[in-house]
Amino acid sequence: MKQVTAGFDISSIIDIPPFSLSKQEKDGFYADVLYELTKHHYSNCVQYQKILDVLGFDPIIKHNKEDIPPVPVRLFKDYDLLSVEKSQIIKTMTSSGTTGQSISKIFLDRITSTNQTKVLIKIVSSFTGAKRLPMLIIDTKAVIKDRNLFSARGAGILGFSMLGYDVTYALDEDMQPDFDTVEAFCKKHKDKNILIFGFTFMIWEYFYKKLAETGKNFPLENGILIHGGGWKKLSEEAVDNKTFKSSLEGVCGIKRVYNYYGMVEQTGSIFMECEAGYLHSSIFSDVRVLRTDFSACGIHETGLVQLSSLLPFSYPGHVILSEDTGEIIGEDNCSCGRLGKYFKIHGRVIDAEIRGCSDTYE
């Protein structure tokens, strides 16, 4: 197989505001990049080539981008999927599988890893502002020990920490709130905007509950909280998005809370929740919702979520089929003013293997 050594030049669109292009403006370049990525992965990944051959899909012909076959996320558990030489891999990310489950392995070269970081910063800073802020992470520093091989949880922490300074961890190695450290952080940055990051379930279980139990309050009224993952566990406790936000405001005064949806298979090109409560695709990503026969669902019709991203170059993750259900609410007309598709995630496919999210803590 031929070896390709250059990926999509993200610099050509990195300066475009991530939610500023209409469907017509986005579709043109997006289709071109997905076409080139499909050819690249077909030429450089044996397993991906076999998938397309079995499906009778010729990547040399320029199909509609909607016709590119998605890779089911479960295949990343069963195979080492690479589209570059192993010598080019600088980082391997894993999903945080629960005990007894296989884990996904995502292999990143320098191009893919760099682009993921650039795009993550671009998307999140469009919500939080371009200026780096003092940062509080609702997790333990122990999770980022091995930077060459780490979980989606560790990757998320490292990626989001690029948006802040004076990065401080709120939990100790026993997953208990470090009250003294958090109080010192709040005092040091009093009256400043503060960026707070964590995984949804962990924030609820190891931070909010402990504060509620002890009656502790932290002055985080100026905080901007970014969180994601773990909604399945919270739904089992009858905790929805509204309850999560109001409960945290009660113990910390946090009013600006943004949920995000993302997967280790497409790190970087995350989907952020807007002020109206909907997840948004950016110029770097797209979403489709499919029926059981893989035809496209209509607006407000629930189906299986397919995600695409311009970033995966070192592995065939540019079009993936998730195990989540959701519905598209609209496109280019959200009340928040951001362009692009906006949607909701409803939960896991019935009988799907319970996926170890980045919130999992054993």
**CA 270/CA 174 separation, integer angstroms:** 29
- Would you say 96 and 151 are in contact if contact means Cβ atoms under 8 Å apart? yes
pLDDT tens digits in sequence order for the chain, 362 residues long? 444 445 567 888 888 999 999 999 999 889 999 999 999 999 999 999 999 999 999 999 988 999 999 999 999 999 999 999 999 999 888 875 544 567 889 999 999 999 999 999 999 999 999 899 999 999 998 887 755 546 778 878 888 998 999 999 999 988 999 999 999 999 999 989 999 999 998 899 899 999 999 988 888 999 999 998 777 777 777 788 888 899 898 888 899 999 999 988 999 999 999 999 999 999 999 999 999 999 999 999 999 999 999 999 999 999 999 999 999 999 999 999 999 999 999 988 865 543 433 333 33
CATH 3.40.50.2300 fits 19-348, yes or no: no
pTM: predicted TM-score of the whole model, two decimal places: 0.89
**CA 322/CA 125 separation, integer angstroms:** 26
What are the DSSP calls for 162-196, one per residue? TTEEEEEESB-TTS-B-HHHHHHHHHHTTTS-EEE
Tokens (6 digits) for 273: 């929740």
- Say what the pLDDT of residue 354 is: 38
**Checking DSSP bridges between strand 223-228 and strand 194-199, what pairing results, if any?**
parallel
Tokens (6 digits) for 183: 């109080």
The sign of the dihedral angle between the CA atoms of 64, 107, 171, 141 is: negative
- Say what the pLDDT of residue 96 is: 58
**CA 203/CA 210 separation, integer angstroms:** 10
* Nearest CA among 284, 309, 272 for reference residue 12: 284
- Say what the pLDDT of residue 154 is: 81
